[in-house]
Every structure is written in C-alpha cells, then in structure tokens.
Amino acid sequence: MFALPLLDGDSEIVLTSKLNSKPYIDITLGVLKDFGCEISETDTGYHIKGNQRLKPFSGAVEGDYSQAAFFRVANSLGSELDIRGLNENSLQGDRRIMEICDKFDKSRAPFNIDGADIPDLVPILTVLACFCNGTSRISNVARLRYKESDRLSVTAECLNAIGGKVTVGEDYLDIEGVERLRGGEIDGHNDHRIPMSMSIAATMCEQPLIIRGAECVRKSFPDFFEVYRSLSGEVEEI
C-alpha cells in the first residue's frame, strides 16, 4: 500500500480469503491519507491509483493500545495506573481493550470475544479472563498458532502451570475463572507478548513468578521491565 501509489499505473490488491486484522490495514490507510495518498476499498480488496506523490504532513504518532493493554489489565486486577497518550478515536483494533476492561470492572462477568481482529490482545485478555466469575471464550484465533510461538498453546501452558484453568480448542481458548494464581516458573517461548502478559499475571500470584527467556520483550517493548519497575513492580534478574 505504500509502494503501489508511486507506480505509473493503477493497481489492485485482490483478496483471496477473509481479511483478518483489518484494523491494521485501516491504520495504514489513515496514515497514507494524512500524507495525501488515496486508496479505495472495493468489494474484493483495494484499488490504488498510480502517479500519486506523498506530501509533507505534520502530526504525532499515536500511543500504542497493544502495549497499553498490559497496564490497563493491571488496573482491572487491582493496580492504580494513569495511562496517557492514547487517542480515543484511534483506528487501532486493540482500542477494544478499554471497553473489555471497563465491562470487567463493573461485574467481572465472563466474556465471549471474537479475537480475529485483535490477535495481539489474546494473551493479556486470557490473563484477564482468569479472574472472571465464570468461563470466558476467545474465539476465531487459530492463526495465533503461527505467531512467534503457538500462542494459543503457550498462553494456556503458562497460565495452567501457575494455577490457571485454560483449555485450548482448535480455534479458541476457554478460560475458567479462579481467585488467585500460585506463581512458579514458566518459559517465555521467545514470544514477546508472553512474558509481558505473565508479568501482569504475576500481580495476582501468591508466590513469585520466574519467567525464563523474558528478554524476548525487546522485540516490541525493549524497556518493558524498566517501566514495570518504575510503576513499583518488583523485578529481579536471575
């Protein structure tokens, strides 16, 4: 989408299967529009007119709801953090974390969520679901098996190892609520979102939580543990 507007002729992007994570495409289209580039959505995909030129634009990069999600869930589990810099009108699909947490805060009722467009939220939403009053389901997430890890199995494995009750289906996770987690030792599986999610789960553990391979957070949030410490989280490297 960034390259095709600069070509001499018009282009078409034709989808041959259902488009997952569409909000990421919407963000891209929004940024290109800010720079004066127009791309039209069609019944089968996208039409991109050629011979376009990007124009200077003055603006700010939005705060990232995907990363803020960890701390928003921490608030729902008892922390008191002031999260700033987020655009309430953002096109980011992960903005849904605010709505989901707001509902949790009112009743801790279990939820049934389609995760197709919010795959990055699934690990931390699974942590949140562990503390609902009932069984929650996160569905349409089979493709998470092909992330940095088999993210469905790894999320369940980590939480079950420390006292969670998570069942893995073909394209869903079922999460039965518990009062507390035990703590213990888990592996980050070289998947940056797993140690970050488990670090929030640790706030609900009765005993310390050891996360092996936690340095993989560097992929998307290099100073995660520095931020965690700055918020009074206790982290010790071993």
Tokens of 142: 């089979």
What secondary structure letter does DSSP report for 177? -
- Indicate yes or no: pTM above 0.85: yes
CATH class held by domain 65-230 = alpha beta
Interatomic CA distance for residues 71 and 82, integer angstroms: 9
What secondary structure letter does DSSP report for 173? E
Q: Kindly give the confidence (pLDDT) of every residue in the chain, 238 residues in length, as a single tens digit, with 9 standing for 90 and above.
A: 999 999 999 999 999 998 989 999 999 999 999 999 999 999 999 999 999 999 999 988 899 999 999 999 999 999 999 999 999 999 999 999 999 999 999 999 999 999 999 999 999 999 999 999 999 999 999 999 999 999 999 999 999 999 999 999 999 999 999 999 999 999 999 999 999 999 999 999 999 999 999 999 999 999 999 999 999 999 999 9
Q: What does the domain layout of the chain look like in residue ranges?
A: 4-48, 65-230
Interatomic CA distance for residues 149 and 89, integer angstroms: 32
Q: Order of strands, edge to edge, in the sheet holding 172-176?
A: 112-114, 135-139, 172-176, 165-168
Q: Which of 120, 174, 187, 191 is catalytic?
A: 120
Compute how many other C-beta atoms are within 10 angstroms of the C-beta atom of residue 197.
Answer: 27
The verdict on whether 10 is a catalytic residue reads no
